[in-house]
Chain A
Amino acid sequence: MAGLEDLYREIILDHYRTPRNRGELEAPAVSAEGHNPLCGDEIRIFIDVKDGLVSDVRFNGSGCSISQSSASMMTTAVKGKPVDQVRAIVKRFKQMMTLDEDENSTIDESINLGDLEALQGVVKFPVRIKCATLGWNTLLDALAETGK
């Protein structure tokens, strides 16, 4: 059985207790809202895209330590990065969140997820995978808003 230490790594708890980039952005930034209907977690992701770069990103909402820390770590991972690279990071992260090793050959394996690797342990707790990916799926929704 996977132990809680696999789930609640120190870096995760640090982002939970001290979230980075928590807050909102004014227009012209866009936002998207994500729900986990099974558990009631809610998250809103704000992004400001300028000249093909995610120049700023914020999140707010409420949820468990995994959903909130994952969103916090995500903001630090994507802030200031080109949109294409952000999409690649999202893809790489979502691949890590699945047990299917060779699901998609277009994943850029060279992407270093850094602190985000700490969330690898979530895979051992399948019920919590949706918590970890909530912010990321919502980021994709927000990116879609920028294209409108």
Chain B
Amino acid sequence: MTFDVAAIRKDFPVLHRLVNDKPLVYLDSANTSQKPQVVIDALANFMKHGYAPINRSAYQLAAEATDAFEATRSALATFINAPKANEVVFTKNATEALNLVIMSWGRANLKAGDAVLLTHMEHHANIVPWHMLVAERGIQLRWVPLTSDGQLDLTDLDSLLKDVKVFSFTSMSNVLGTINPVQRLCAAAHNAGAIAIVDACQSVPHQPTDVQAWGADFAVFSSHKMCGPSGVGVLWGRESLLEAMPPFLGGGNMIADVRLDGFTTAEVPAKFEAGTPAIAEIVALNSAVKYLTNLGMHNVRQHEIELSTYVLNTLNSRFGDDITIHGPTNPELRGATFSFAFRGIHPHDLSQVLDQTNVCVRAGHHCAKPLMRILGANATVRASFYLYNTTQEVDALADALDSASDIF
């Protein structure tokens, strides 16, 4: 199947919206992705015809809702090649999924002086919970540094991993676009006796995912970046690890029994799913998984390599030394997420000017302040592309950048 972007764009209603009589150029998908009609329909149809509580009522409507809910769990397991559907845990977002692992597994397994290895390109969600555990438990954090082109500098990886209990890292930087060698990093962690946690938020929507090939122990990602509704995060973990972990949040659904003097937990994944989840959103996420699967994640990845090649060629040839694009220069080593500095114009001012032609980019620190300090910036502009973006939109970005120079 050829990847037909024009046909794909027809599936996304918002891309046809005119803002101030001009088309939208949505380049903020690393932040959150737009939704295809099939997901919108699935959400609306479930709300109209199928909405009911899950897991707790005997009537047919509730049984159907439970089936639809669990179907998404199975679909996600297939999508990431998880061995078992019950290894997929729903959370409210990927941040909560990381907090779940860090607080549940971490509290049960880490003591004062234990070392955790992170990298300099992590999102705050893979930093702050660890800092909280530093304060609570006295663990110590180590960091994998970066090369000048924004890749992990793995020169001293083995010595950094010495006596480390956890290696927690991103599969793809949300700032630099760098795609990390997840399989190699997981193997190195295991060789050192550590578990491997993968923050897969930026890669799962954009390329094939195989958690077994990775050899990971845990992986987290979010629905809203992969064409699904917001309000849903996903944690995948090895069944044996999940079973050994204490619960994270307590309440309804996560118990086997509750007495006046205590409680016992339900089996995984229910043990980690306290309270009513985002039922309709999770049901609709199944349609996003189907949509991506039908397109083919290899095709999505190939499209984004082609876009990345076009972005790098266009911006570098048009602006030369006036633009500094962070991250790898080889499109094979990166996703289509580009942070850059342009002609000394502050990122806020630049994004404001781009907005005049509906070019939607993010300006700021991208929830990665330690990385921003390493880059020597308070903020960058970030243009991030997805399966529905075109080379014409790259040109629109370049034209808009050119117009910014006239003001400042």
**Residues of chain A whose beta carbon lies under 8 Å from any beta carbon of chain B:** 1, 3-4, 7-8, 13, 16, 38-42, 62-66, 125, 128, 131
Which residue of chain A has the shortest Cβ distance to B369 in the bound complex?
A40
B407, A4: Cβ atoms closer than 8 Å:
yes
In Å, the complex CA distance between A89 and B407 comes to 29
In Å, the complex CA distance between A13 and B408 comes to 7
B406 to chain A, nearest CB (A): 10
**Residues of chain B whose beta carbon lies under 8 Å from any beta carbon of chain A:** 20, 346-349, 352-353, 356, 363-365, 369, 372, 378-379, 407-408
Q: If A8-B407, A39-B365, A40-B365 touch, does A131 touch B348 (CB 8 Å cutoff)?
A: yes
Which residue of chain A has the shortest Cβ distance to B378 in the bound complex?
A40
A40, B364: Cβ atoms closer than 8 Å:
yes
B280 to chain A, nearest CB (A): 30
Contacts beyond the supplied A41-B378, A64-B346, A64-B347: 20 A-B pairs with Cβ under 8 Å: A3-B356, A4-B352, A8-B349, A8-B407, A39-B348, A39-B363, A39-B364, A39-B365, A39-B378, A40-B365, A40-B369, A40-B379, A41-B379, A62-B378, A65-B346, A65-B348, A65-B349, A65-B408, A66-B348, A131-B348
A interface, over-half SS: mixed
B295 to chain A, nearest CB (A): 34
Tell me which of A7, A39, A40 has the highest count of chain B C-beta atoms within 10 A of its own C-beta: A40
B346 to chain A, nearest CB (A): 4
A-side contacts of B353, CB under 8 Å: 4
A-side contacts of B379, CB under 8 Å: 39-41
B-side contacts of A7, CB under 8 Å: 352
B356, A4: Cβ atoms closer than 8 Å:
yes
A64, B348: Cβ atoms closer than 8 Å:
yes
Cross-chain pairs A/B with CB under 8 angstroms, 6 sampled: A13-B408, A16-B408, A39-B379, A63-B346, A64-B347, A65-B348
Which residue of chain B has the shortest Cβ distance to A3 in the bound complex?
B356
Q: If A4-B407, A41-B379, A63-B346 touch, does A125 touch B364 (CB 8 Å cutoff)?
A: no
Candidates A1, A4, A128; contact of B348 at CB < 8 Å: A128
A128, B378: Cβ atoms closer than 8 Å:
no
In Å, the complex CA distance between A40 and B379 comes to 6
A-side contacts of B408, CB under 8 Å: 8, 13, 16, 65
Q: If A1-B20, A8-B407 touch, does A40 touch B372 (CB 8 Å cutoff)?
A: yes
In Å, the complex CA distance between A64 and B348 comes to 6
In Å, the complex CA distance between A19 and B364 comes to 22
Which residue of chain A has the shortest Cβ distance to B348 in the bound complex?
A64
B378, A125: Cβ atoms closer than 8 Å:
no
B378, A63: Cβ atoms closer than 8 Å:
yes
Which residue of chain A has the shortest Cβ distance to B373 in the bound complex?
A40
Which residue of chain A has the shortest Cβ distance to B379 in the bound complex?
A40
B-side contacts of A8, CB under 8 Å: 349, 407-408
A18 to chain B, nearest CB (A): 13
B-side contacts of A13, CB under 8 Å: 407-408
B352, A38: Cβ atoms closer than 8 Å:
no
Which residue of chain B has the shortest Cβ distance to A37 in the bound complex?
B365
In Å, the complex CA distance between A38 and B346 comes to 14
In Å, the complex CA distance between A38 and B353 comes to 19
A-side contacts of B365, CB under 8 Å: 39-40
Q: Report the 6 A-B pairs with minimum CB-CB distance, sorted nearest first.
A: A64-B348, A40-B365, A40-B378, A64-B346, A40-B379, A39-B364
B-side contacts of A66, CB under 8 Å: 348-349
Tell me which of A1, A16, A38, A64 has the highest count of chain B C-beta atoms within 10 A of its own C-beta: A64
A31 to chain B, nearest CB (A): 19
B-side contacts of A42, CB under 8 Å: 378
A64, B349: Cβ atoms closer than 8 Å:
yes
Candidates A1, A3, A4, A38; contact of B364 at CB < 8 Å: A38
In Å, the complex CA distance between A63 and B348 comes to 8
B174 to chain A, nearest CB (A): 15
A131 to chain B, nearest CB (A): 7
In Å, the complex CA distance between A1 and B365 comes to 27
B65 to chain A, nearest CB (A): 38
In Å, the complex CA distance between A62 and B20 comes to 32
In Å, the complex CA distance between A79 and B379 comes to 30
